[in-house]
Structure 1
């Protein structure tokens, strides 16, 4: 099974109040680059580009949490990301409306990561 299908299989079995929002966030991240690697790690869908970039944490059920592992490298000028411990940063989505409203910011953060990894 290829790793992209691992995320799809994971999502198909996931019982989560924001399952549709999680699927949308996965789709938005996938649209940025076909070169990203996907897997299910640390209990959730994960995306790597040269090194681990972000993981969704489905154990949190009151919002969709996207953890950018090295968020301190991302120069987020939008205020979209919340700083976290150990250099991490979080994107949080509480509704489909928020997912759609923040789509451009989420894709910008992923594009910035790819630029940083390529420089």
Structure 2
């Protein structure tokens, strides 16, 4: 089965501009990051899948940071998050929510720093 196109998945989404801005930020965080579709949403991998949009989240746009489909016993620890962007869902998953383009722009550097730290723990 051929994977869906991430652009097609978000084409009619009411937060398309915010999603596209976040997609660009994620891909720019590391040249090894690849975009694909997992769980019927734009998802990102660098060897392992590590981030997936939650397209039905409201308000705003939510990204789930994870460590692939399998739970790992060690969890993710030591992520520096001075802006308080992460909401921990369990030891292996956290979410980040943005409500506007201004919010995304204001936290772009902090979000990319979190992504780089997350990748180092895959």
User: Under a length normalisation based on structure 1, what TM-score does the superposition of the two structures give?
Assistant: 0.81
Task: Give the 5 Å matches for 1:74-89.
Answer: 75-78=79-82, 79-85=84-90, 87-89=92-94
Once the two structures are TM-superposed, the CA of residue 33 in structure 1 deviates from its matched residue by 1.7
2:72 paired with 1:73: no
Q: Partner of 2:49 in structure 1?
A: 52
2:21 paired with 1:10: no
What is the CA deviation profile of residues 29-56 of structure 1, one whole-angstrom value per residue up to 9, with x for unaligned ones?
Answer: 1111221121111121000112111000
- The aligned residue for residue 103 of structure 2 is 98
Is the 2:25–2:112 Cα contact (8 Å) retained in structure 1?
yes
Contact 2:29 2:112 in 1 (8 A): yes
What secondary structure, in the 3-state scheme, does the structure 1 residue paired with 2:64 have? strand
1:17/1:9 Cα in 2 relative to 1: closer, same or farther (>3 Å)?
A: closer
Give the drift of 1:85: 3.8
SS of the aligned residue for 1:35 comes to coil
CA RMSD of aligned residues (A): 2.1
1:105-116 → structure 2 map (5 Å cutoff): 105-116=110-121
Which structure shows the higher helix fraction? 1
Conserved? CA contact 1:43–1:58, under 8 Å: no
Shift, 1:116, TM fit: 2.7
Structure 1 runs of 4+ with >3 Å offset: none
SS at match of 1:77: coil
State the distance in 2 between where 1:17 and 1:7 align.
Answer: 15
